[in-house]
Chain A
């Protein structure tokens, strides 16, 4: 298969997956879910690091580094703020369910 068609196939399948995964969720969790999804697209950091690392010339490098800073904010900040939100949902009856450990 042509590589760009292969990627297109992945794209279409991922659309359906994304659709199915959240189609039934209570309104209580809308905010954390949105925030968590927000953090996931921070994975653009991978792309930002690649373009910054392959930049030619100062102009490209600066744009690339700005993208790295912004993407890091999105990724790291997003996961941390989601974790803080969810910390509040700790059920009092079952504290053992909560996993220990900090968020990256």
Chain B
């Protein structure tokens, strides 16, 4: 039993975690909330080293140092566009750590609840780890972002799930004794994680990250239960519960249900539209023509998407908008809740480019203003402005709330190519007579526009 003062410190740290989450839910207090969470974690670590009777101290400290040496630069240097992948990876290794901790405790865990929790943690930790690795690979585009549905996918998935449960029961009945059984359980759980995430389409991946985040939280909570450590229990449970809500909120923002995201691809037909390039005619123009269109418009609304982020063009688009403002054009940015790769990702990217917060319109406001806009300038966005979400019930994005750029008097699309967006769906709007395309890398095109507007 650890001393009372240490238990009280753990309790304080747990309370700080609650406050940290609370802080993170409001823009003004978010940063302080995060720092509070970090401080609480640091204090809890120090207490752990003081009160527990630990061997191998040197090795443990070295392992922590290794983690810091890899983790801090990765977190510091990652491009803001690649951040979702990194979060997925951090989540995955957390799940793996929880699984390993529970695995080591299996043989020591008392029966009924703690042992059952330990067995469950090995399995859930494995799922969270392999699932997160797959989401990382998808977001990094190391494997295809389109849903992968092996022919026997549902059968394989169900089979691996059954094997996991059966193995779990065996390990439990065995009292967690034989180490190799627990290891086998973890390995099968890895297969479950892979099969769970592979069929998920690219645009839905962020929601899956959030779901796996909740899984890891639960795994951490359960391993805290096994260890009899209240801090782990509370911290993990908070994340598990809040992560589940967050997953639902994100799914709602995209007009999807969590179940349809996970298993929709198996129903067939829902992933219509291939990655094929259509041969239909489109209207394209050069930067000079578009510059005139923009400079003499009364109201221009910029719709930034992931393409803007990849091209690192946040600053250039801000420059263009400032130029237009100087010429008396009313401008604003319309931000779709899932613009970028994750909900809120685009706000982060534009904030990085010093775009004033007031210029960022949320979807409902933006849709009101788009009706009276002369030009909607779509920079590297596609799926979030695809009218198929309103008009074609067969489309995988049908029902997703979109920005109604088709209500503007004219639409300018800046695109690298005619390739469909992340969700792999054709966009009818590209062929609309009111639409003009400006081909090229978003940054290069925007730079050309800036100099063309200056020259007017």
Considering the chains assembled together, what is the distance between the CA atoms of A29 and B234 in angstroms?
23
Q: Which of A41, A59, A65 contacts B60 (CB under 8 A)?
A: A65
A interface, over-half SS: helix
Residues on the A chain within 8 Å of B56, using CB: 52-53, 55, 61, 65
Neighbouring A residues of B155 by C-beta, 8 Å: none
Please tell me the number of chain A residues within 8 Å of chain B, measured between CB atoms. Answer: 86
A44 touches B35 (CB 8 A): no
Check if A77 sits within 8 Å of B232, measured CB to CB: no
A-side contacts of B91, CB under 8 Å: 38, 41, 74
Q: Which of B76, B96, B104, B357 contacts A51 (CB 8 A)?
A: B104
Answer whether residue B268 sits at the interface, using C-beta atoms and an 8 A cutoff.
no
Asked whether any CB of chain A lies closer than 8 Å to the CB of B166, the reply is no
Instruction: List residues of B (210-234) whose CB comes within 8 Å of A's CBs.
Output: 210, 213, 216-217, 220-221, 223-225, 227-234
Partner of A21, one of B22, B112, B249: B22
Of all chain B residues, which has the CB nearest A17? B18
Q: Number of residue pairs across A and B with beta carbons under 8 Å?
A: 381
A88 on interface, CB distance cutoff 8 Å: yes
Choose the segment among B38-46, B195-203, B299-307, B422-430 that binds chain A (4+ C-beta atoms closer than 8 Å).
Answer: B38-46
Q: Give the contact stretch, choosing among B78-86, B275-283, B445-453.
A: B78-86
CB distance from A70 to the nearest CB of B (A): 4
Q: Within 8 Å of chain A (Cβ to Cβ): is B297?
A: no
Contact A91 B250, beta carbon cutoff 8 Å: no
Binary contact readout B179-221 vs A (1 if CB under 8 angstroms, 0 otherwise): 1000000000000000000000000000001100100110011
Contact A22 B229 (CB under 8 A): no
Asked whether A37 and B86 contact (CB < 8 A) given A66-B100, A76-B67, A89-B30, the answer is no
Residues A22-68 near B (CB distance < 8 A): 22-55, 59-61, 63-68
Whether A31 contacts B233 in the complex (CB less than 8 A), given A74-B93, A83-B31, comes out as no
| Contact B94 A74, beta carbon cutoff 8 Å | yes
A52 touches B103 (CB 8 A): no
Asked if B37 and A36 make an inter-chain contact with CB atoms under 8 angstroms apart, the answer reads yes
Contacts of A60 in B (CB 8 A): 104
B residues in contact with A40, CB < 8 Å: 17, 20-21, 37, 41, 217, 235, 238-239
Q: Chain B: interface secondary structure?
A: helix
CA distance A43 to B76 in the complex (A): 20
Cβ-neighbour of B24 out of A27, A32, A43, A70 (below 8 A): A32
Task: Write the nearest CB–CB distance from A43 to chain B, whole angstroms.
Answer: 4
Q: State in angstroms the CA–CA spacing of A17 and B235 once bound together.
A: 11
- Does B27 sit within 8 A of A, measured CB to CB? yes
Is B152's beta carbon under 8 Å from chain A? no
| CB contact between B72 and one of A22, A76, A85 (< 8 Å): that residue | A76
Minimum C-beta distance from A75 to chain B (A)? 6
Within the assembled complex, what's the spacing in Å between the Cα atoms of A87 and B101? 33
With a cutoff of 8 Å between Cβ atoms, the chain B residues found around residue A91 in the complex are 27-28, 357
A92 to B86 CA separation, bound complex (whole angstroms)? 28
Residue B26 lies at the interface, judged by CB distance under 8 Å to chain A: yes
Q: Please tell me if the beta carbons of B87 and A38 are within 8 angstroms of each other in the complex.
A: yes
Whether, in the assembled complex, A98 has its beta carbon less than 8 Å from a beta carbon of chain B, the answer is yes
B residues with CB within 8 A of A: 17-18, 20-22, 24-28, 30-35, 37-39, 41-42, 44-45, 48-49, 52-57, 59-60, 63-64, 66-68, 70-72, 74-76, 78, 80, 83-84, 86-87, 90-91, 93-94, 96-98, 100-101, 103-105, 110, 112-114, 179, 209-210, 213, 216-217, 220-221, 223-225, 227-246, 249-250, 253, 337-338, 342-345, 347-349, 351-352, 354, 356-357, 362
Task: Give the top 9 A-B pairs by smallest Cβ distance, nearest first.
Answer: A72-B67, A53-B54, A18-B241, A77-B71, A74-B94, A30-B343, A14-B237, A80-B75, A71-B97
